[in-house]
Chain A
Amino acid sequence: MATLVIAEHDNKSLNEATRAAVTAAKKIGGGDIHILVAGQGAKSVADEAAKVDGVAKVMLAESDALGHKMAEALESLVLSIADGYGAILAPASTVGKNFMPRVAAKLDVMLISDITSVESADTFIRPIYAGNALMTVKSNDKVKVITVRPTTFEKAGDGGSASVETVSAPDAAAKSAFVSEELSKSDRPELGAAKIVISGGRGMGNGENFAILEKVADKLGAAVGASRAAVDAGFVPNDYQVGQTGKVVAPQLYIAVGISGAIQHLAGMKDSKVIVAINKDEEAPIFSVADYGLVADLFKAVPEFEEELAKIGY
């Protein structure tokens, strides 16, 4: 049976998370891998998807609603082409989390959310309790509907030359309308894709103080994140949030500044390659997962960090 991967994209380029989902699809095995690109004016995304290694066919469906990733429209589209697939995968992004449960419910199968490993064609590992336990589950359903945690799978490279065909977008069974979108404008890389992430917590004191992290981020080409405490305190918008209820990241280097290290935060960053913690409280739990801990006042240490970076050529 073939496997369907639903692409994550912004109508211009393919999001790397899609490549992680393709890798998961390869591990499931069993047949051809097809990618569905649902969007509006997204031909360039389909062309990019066609080059991904291991992909046999790309389908492009376009409509206004799909361009805005409306869950109801995505549900109807995926259901219209679902026949013949043994597994349907999408990245566990806010888009995938929005429409994939609808697809699963209509197919009368249980969604397998946020998998971190493919053990076999029907057995997967997924984190529960904010990653404090890992559950291995075997699906007894005929079709596996899966969302994939992008950080835990290698990104499939280029090397394919799939055909691109157009499929029609059916009307959505349930109606909703797009009103507006407000995306954070930033020249920095997005949290999920950044090789370096520097995050601030309640210790930052206020939103303005995040400027000192931004300066370091700009030197390093890093993304800026935050703990839930900093988001709850209104220092930064919610899309900065790293943790159980925010983004899960696994960069090469994660720098936690003024973050105590609640389990909900650790859930979102403990798979990072190297973790640095800067905190004035030497008892802070963050130090128990940090490779390098610095007990210091962040308002002195972070500007000094920036100066020292300049000395080594950043």
Chain B
Amino acid sequence: MKILVPVKRVVDYNVKVRVKPDQSGVDLANVKMSMNPFCEIAVEEAIRMKEKGLAEEIVVVSIGPAGAQETIRTALAMGADRGIHVTTDATVEPLAVAKILAKIAGEESPQLIILGKQAIDDDANATGQMLAALLGWPQGTFASKVEKDGDTLKVTREIDGGLQTVSFGLPAIVTTDLRLNEPRYASLPNIMKAKRKPIDAKTPEDYGVDLTPRLSVVKVSEPPKRQGGIKVESVADLIYKLKNEAGVL
């Protein structure tokens, strides 16, 4: 089985982002970038499937500026086999990402595509599902457990109120939730080895996908600041204030 894992380069999850004064977007200058945490979980899951003998090859794809190559290298250092970098400086919405990935899936014929459930920059939570629809494939989103039994995949999903388990045949899409696994750190020898693994350089034009955004950004603004309140001295004081001042008890 071949597994395709699309990964996104995003602002590191520890960075507190700042909105640009002209409200045109978020300030990304000199900000630490990393692989989207949910994508790391996707890469890890693919590697574990390969280690169990369920997969032969893991192909990592990233769509984005030159720096996205580092993200692909990170995935290769973790254990993926080769990369495809679709280079563009444009803003690429999930719909266009899904269209490019659908074309790549057509060329690569993976049996399984594992993606992060959402990217922590635009928080859209859409690409995996859109890709599944465009390919006409079944999906197991927000996965906390993935089991392969012959040509069938059983996926346990994190849903409001608990867990749901679904099953479907391959090819299929899985999107990862937090508890699926804990991604490994790449070892130094593997980081060195990853430098020799191949990365195909592509452009969106190679796939004939129109990247024109469907959503125009009118502005990006700061959320209203919540003012910190007061410190209370005791539990009794807290209860008194909640009852008589805030009126919520």
Which positions in A face B, CB cutoff 8 Å? 68, 70-72, 75, 93-95, 97-106, 108-114, 123, 126-141, 173-184, 190, 192, 196, 220, 228, 231-232, 237-239, 244-245, 247, 252-253, 263-264, 270, 273-276, 282, 287-296, 301, 304-305, 308-309, 311-312, 314
B248–A244 CB distance below 8 A: no
B168–A105 CB distance below 8 A: no
B159–A239 CB distance below 8 A: yes
| B80-95 to A contact mask, C-beta < 8 Å, 1/0 | 0000000000000111
Indicate whether B209 reaches chain A with its CB closer than 8 angstroms.
no
A134–B139 CB distance below 8 A: no
Contact partner of B229 among A180, A292, A309, CB < 8 A?
A292
A72, A232, A244: residue with the most chain B Cβ atoms closer than 10 Å: A72
**In the complex the two chains form, what is the Cα distance from A262 to B183 in whole Å?**
21
Contact partner of A111 among B19, B94, B234, CB < 8 A?
B94
CB distance from A90 to the nearest CB of B (A): 13
B131, B172, B218: residue with the most chain A Cβ atoms closer than 10 Å: B218
**In the complex the two chains form, what is the Cα distance from A68 to B163 in whole Å?**
12
**In the complex the two chains form, what is the Cα distance from A314 to B242 in whole Å?**
13
**In the complex the two chains form, what is the Cα distance from A274 to B241 in whole Å?**
11
**In the complex the two chains form, what is the Cα distance from A296 to B241 in whole Å?**
17
A101–B126 CB distance below 8 A: yes
Identify the stretch in B9-17, B51-59, B193-201 within 8 Å (CB) of chain A at 4 or more residues.
B9-17
B137–A174 CB distance below 8 A: yes
Taking A68-B164, A98-B129, A133-B223 as given, write out 18 further A-B residue pairs in contact, using a Cβ cutoff of 8 Å, ordered by the A residue number: A72-B138, A94-B159, A101-B125, A102-B130, A105-B131, A105-B134, A129-B11, A132-B16, A135-B217, A136-B220, A177-B168, A180-B164, A182-B162, A182-B164, A239-B161, A270-B226, A289-B228, A290-B229
Chain B residues, Cβ within 8 Å of A175: 138, 168-169
Q: Given A175-B168, A291-B246, A292-B242, are A105 and B133 also a contact pair (CB < 8 Å)?
A: yes
Contact partner of A133 among B19, B98, B118, B228, CB < 8 A?
B19
**In the complex the two chains form, what is the Cα distance from A253 to B235 in whole Å?**
16
CB distance from A211 to the nearest CB of B (A): 18
Chain B residues, Cβ within 8 Å of A301: 235
Q: Nearest chain-A residue to B159 (Cβ)?
A: A94
| B150-177 to A contact mask, C-beta < 8 Å, 1/0 | 0000100111111111111100100001
B123–A276 CB distance below 8 A: no
CB distance from A188 to the nearest CB of B (A): 12
Chain A residues, Cβ within 8 Å of B228: 287-290, 293
Chain A residues, Cβ within 8 Å of B131: 105
Q: Given A245-B118, A294-B231, A294-B232, are A101 and B133 also a contact pair (CB < 8 Å)?
A: yes
**In the complex the two chains form, what is the Cα distance from A68 to B157 in whole Å?**
13
**In the complex the two chains form, what is the Cα distance from A182 to B156 in whole Å?**
10
Q: Nearest chain-B residue to A178 (Cβ)?
A: B166
Q: Nearest chain-A residue to B160 (Cβ)?
A: A94
Contact partner of B179 among A93, A127, A139, A231, CB < 8 A?
A231
A109–B17 CB distance below 8 A: no
A95–B130 CB distance below 8 A: no
Residue contacts A-B, CB under 8 angstroms, 25 given:
A68-B164, A70-B166, A97-B125, A101-B125, A101-B128, A105-B133, A111-B130, A113-B123, A123-B218, A127-B223, A129-B121, A133-B222, A136-B221, A176-B138, A176-B172, A238-B178, A244-B123, A263-B16, A274-B246, A274-B248, A276-B238, A289-B226, A290-B228, A292-B229, A296-B235
Contact partner of A305 among B125, B161, B220, B238, CB < 8 A?
B238
Indicate whether B26 reaches chain A with its CB closer than 8 angstroms.
yes
Task: List which B23-38 residues lie within 8 A (CB) of chain A.
Answer: 26, 38
Chain A residues, Cβ within 8 Å of B230: 291-293
B161–A308 CB distance below 8 A: no
**In the complex the two chains form, what is the Cα distance from A145 to B184 in whole Å?**
37
Indicate whether B22 reaches chain A with its CB closer than 8 angstroms.
no
Contact partner of B220 among A100, A134, A292, CB < 8 A?
A134
Indicate whether B107 reaches chain A with its CB closer than 8 angstroms.
no
B163–A105 CB distance below 8 A: no
CB distance from A35 to the nearest CB of B (A): 19
Indicate whether B122 reaches chain A with its CB closer than 8 angstroms.
yes
Q: Nearest chain-A residue to B248 (Cβ)?
A: A253
CB distance from B219 to the nearest CB of A (A): 5
Q: Nearest chain-A residue to B213 (Cβ)?
A: A110
Contact partner of A130 among B19, B120, B166, B238, CB < 8 A?
B120
Q: Nearest chain-B residue to A251 (Cβ)?
A: B248
**In the complex the two chains form, what is the Cα distance from A290 to B120 in whole Å?**
25
**In the complex the two chains form, what is the Cα distance from A67 to B11 in whole Å?**
39
Chain A residues, Cβ within 8 Å of B26: 128-129, 133
